[in-house]
Chains A and B, each alone.
Chain A
């Protein structure tokens, strides 16, 4: 029964979010109105039309697609590595309640230092290189993942572990059959949060050390007072994230949590 309802809901054509478009249209209208009355608007706040022109120009030159691809490549790579390292690490720390308790504040500390706060140190280590960018965003992605996996492992009912122990299961078997599946919804949340933090960190890192990418684009435009490119870059950064979050990450997380929730209830 439940699955039938869920399947029907999935089959229904997606509703067009007119309300969201309307809100965005109002925001653009407001922006346009301000830029009309602002003196030297091209320098301080170029109009939507001017930004549109910059978009067409950078698309034609191929710069924008290149930079977008570069930034996306970096964040996807960092998220993949972050998950590959973070999930096992979170489980390892989470297995033992004493170890978990001890590591909790430490993980929280490192998580708060995410993104831009560690860039200076990483620049000292690796200079103004690609490596610096990757290390910085990897670091940023890693901690939310570890943290959430840890919480997920701790939230698995103890009775499941005990039941498997009495069936003669090894530690590895308990991790594989109980802790990992039990923590799965938290893994999904950790991945989404990690990628969100990673995206912000990436833009910052590209600004300071990049030679390409969206962060580099807006920072570089500033030196030439190409404000329309700055605004364009900001729009792309924001829009890209909204799209990724809405069409990739949220459905993935919701699907895991909903299906798993249904299974776990």
Chain B
């Protein structure tokens, strides 16, 4: 089957606004994500993970290389690629329901159909009864559920997620990871998930792509041969297969971190 996301020889350079330094963020990065696959991209901080996501989202134009999503060249932002950002990106002046329905509103989906789908996704992310609340009335974890539901409701071809759980507390993060796994199974979306958290990557990914330190290139791909239906933190923490893969990824990432300190 043809890959949903194809990145070929991606190069990106820019001048840092604050330091004025010329930065080579990505250096010939190539990767492919299959239809319905969940790929976690891990790497040391500053390795160009977020740059990769912004380029895939069409928010940043790369210096060189090609990107195809669903066979089409990426030229700018578009609703075929849904993004869940690390920072809180839902609109504070819209209620939960109006935030979740925003993508549909933009697509011109008529009201009745919109409300039906909003309700469906409110249920999917477990926010029943919060329809008319404003973001400031929600906890950090609930806000990210709203962001996730907004992206899902717009029904993108692929989902791009940039450390969406980095800002929530550890307990909530575990819950959100399990729920994302459940949602990914239910929706069969193709997902590219960026994180610096090795455990998170091993838990969520069908495959984990480890990037080198800056300038970022693909260092290694680690497969996680555990059926997604089996992925529950309680069971996995003692699963030898899971721990072995997690350690493998950790070692690979550490090589890059240590190399960067020389």
Contacts and interface: CB of A to CB of B under 8 A. Distances in A.
A is bound by B: yes
B92 interface: yes
Contacts of B134: 263
A152 to B, nearest CB: 13
Interface string B111-133: 00000000000000000000000
Interface in B46-74: 57-59
A173 B92 contact: no
B87 A159 contact: yes
Contacts, number: 64
Interface residues of B, number: 25
A264 interface: yes
A71 B179 CA distance: 64
B18 interface: no
B164 interface: no
Contact of A166 (B77, B91, B93, B107): B77
Interface string A174-190: 00011001100000000
A168 B79 contact: yes
Interface in A228-256: none
Nearest to B95: A263
How many of chain A's residues touch chain B, expressed as a range?
20 to 34
A169 B59 CA distance: 13
Contacts of B85: 159, 162-163
Contact of B89 (A160, A173, A177, A182): A160
Interface string A133-164: 00000000000000000000000010110111
A166 B87 contact: no
A168 B103 contact: yes
A157 B59 CA distance: 15
B83 interface: yes
Interface string B140-179: 0000000000100010000000000000000000000000
A166 B150 CA distance: 11
Interface string A26-66: 00000000000000000000000000000000000000000
Contacts of A264: 92-93, 136
A265 B92 contact: yes
B92 A263 contact: yes
A166 to B, nearest CB: 4
Contacts of B57: 162, 166
B78 A168 contact: yes
A166 B91 CA distance: 14
B102 A168 contact: no
Contact of A260 (B83, B87, B89, B93): B93
Given A168-B79, A260-B93, 20 more contacts: A159-B87, A159-B89, A160-B91, A162-B57, A163-B90, A164-B106, A165-B59, A166-B57, A166-B58, A166-B77, A167-B102, A168-B78, A168-B106, A168-B107, A168-B154, A173-B106, A178-B91, A263-B134, A263-B136, A264-B92
Interface of B: 57-59, 77-79, 81-83, 85, 87-93, 102-103, 106-107, 134, 136, 150, 154
11 contacts: A162-B59, A164-B106, A165-B59, A166-B59, A166-B78, A166-B83, A167-B102, A177-B91, A178-B91, A262-B136, A264-B93
